[in-house]
Structure 1
């Protein structure tokens, strides 16, 4: 089953002052990119998280937020003495110049005067456990969205198959019709003059063969089958699907250029529309 590159997961581990909350968001990207937010992680822990993401996510832009969930009862505060002395000097100047006094609450609410202290170290195993929980939830969401993408693409493959069948049916009589039209036009131009009949048949057949789309239709059907098989694979197939879509697009364009009939053109336009929808969906496939 295919996976989407878009997802969100949240995980927690530990308890009390050592409780860790982790959020991981991923969106589509050509490569694997990782950004970290929240508490500062030591290099060894960050490297271990990167290895987990690389194995689990494989491709996409992942943002990881690690937060230390400390209750107010357990939170330690530090007093910024230097900051307070600067503020106190400003307060004195305000009082002298304007006769205004500031309350204690005004002073305490000043930015950076009191700040929460982070612990000297955070248990690495707790962080990793929270990351694993978040990754599990993230991948559940990616699989769920991947199933929706898969169902949509399968529906559009069916539409492509129906359109190619219709185009084949219409173009089936085109060769004989083209031969008849060419022979009629040549006869009009010759105006009764004699011409090597076998040579005429060869030239007409050659021109008609150039308008034959049998090979393109056969290749399209083969590509449709290959696309269908990719959707059942467990390994990442997003890049292969994108390449296959380009090949299908080339075959459809050739069919359109070889078959100027209005009815075939209608089906070519329909196939191009379905293929573009598949292309949009494929951008988000792992």
Structure 2
């Protein structure tokens, strides 16, 4: 089954007064290219988070973010009342001794002074909260996988359509392939007859024609291309990872056979069909870059 590298997943878990938000999205890439934005509280767990993502996501350009939303009332920075009172007394004493006028707006003056509104408590991550965060991470990754599965089903449908088109076009070559042998013979003989005073050995000409026509034979290319199309379909049904790369290699082999068929065609109708096959194959190659 084909999985896409394009995906998106999000999860929100509530823990006490916090909301733990996790978001993960991915695009196609040759390898795993992971960038993270992690809330300071969870940075000590970054390596564990990376291992979890790498184990499941496997490949792609992945952006991961985890952040915390808190109740603003709970998270408000407290004012150090004792320090405000101390600053107030000191300023009044200095004003009395020096004659400098006291501030007109005491609150704006006092609240700007050092450490009045500084949050001094250091938050530590406990096991219970980390379990909640891990649950959010796992849920977001699961949503990403579900998204990739849906996109992969759409890719598989597209691939089957294109492979069917190439197979149909390959079969449509046969009538023109059978017609070209007598046409080639007729053209060569006619060309020789138009040259005045030329005599030729008909037996030798027949031998040369057979040799020439054998060089233009595309039976092997058709058989190999048919096998590649079959293998492409079988590979799409496989389970596990790395199917995208395998499909890419098969598409390259399909391209070689189509190109060789085109170079041997020596027939306008056949070459037109080959161009159409190349167009179908290019669409496969573009989309296979998104397959995991």
Which TM-score band applies after superposition, normalised by the shorter structure? 0.7 to 0.9
Task: Indicate yes or no: 2:235 matched with 1:202.
Answer: no
Task: Indicate yes or no: 2:129 matched with 1:120.
Answer: no
Residue 263 of structure 1 corresponds to 269
Task: Indicate yes or no: 2:67 matched with 1:67.
Answer: yes
In structure 2, the CA distance between the partners of 1:203 and 1:190, relative to structure 1 (3 Å rule), is farther
Shift of 1:134: 0.3
Task: Indicate yes or no: 2:140 matched with 1:134.
Answer: yes
Residue 148 of structure 1 corresponds to 154
Task: Indicate yes or no: 2:27 matched with 1:27.
Answer: yes
Between the aligned partners of 1:118 and 1:17, the Cα distance in structure 2 is 17
Q: What secondary structure is seen at the aligned counterpart in 1 of 2:147?
A: helix
Residue 244 of structure 2 corresponds to 238
Between the aligned partners of 2:142 and 2:259, the Cα distance in structure 1 is 43
Kept after mapping to 1: 8 A contact 2:7/2:25: yes
Shift of 1:248: 1.1
Shift of 1:235: 1.9
Between the aligned partners of 2:138 and 2:174, the Cα distance in structure 1 is 52
Task: Indicate yes or no: 2:224 matched with 1:219.
Answer: yes
Between the aligned partners of 1:32 and 1:67, the Cα distance in structure 2 is 22
In structure 2, the CA distance between the partners of 1:114 and 1:267, relative to structure 1 (3 Å rule), is farther
Larger radius of gyration: 2
Residues 48-59 of structure 1: pairs in structure 2 closer than 5 A: 48-59=48-59
Between the aligned partners of 2:76 and 2:122, the Cα distance in structure 1 is 8
In structure 2, the CA distance between the partners of 1:255 and 1:125, relative to structure 1 (3 Å rule), is same
Shift of 1:11: 1.6
Q: Structure 1 length normalisation: TM-score? A: 0.81
Unaligned runs of 5+ in 2: 88-104
Kept after mapping to 2: 8 A contact 1:171/1:264: yes
Q: Deviation above 6 Å: which 4+ runs of structure 1?
A: 78-81, 113-118
Residue 193 of structure 1 corresponds to 199
Residue 95 of structure 1 corresponds to none
Number of residue-to-residue matches in the alignment: 262
Kept after mapping to 2: 8 A contact 1:4/1:143: yes
Report the more deviating stretch, 60-69 or 48-57: 48-57
| C-alpha RMSD over aligned residues | 2.9
Kept after mapping to 1: 8 A contact 2:26/2:62: yes
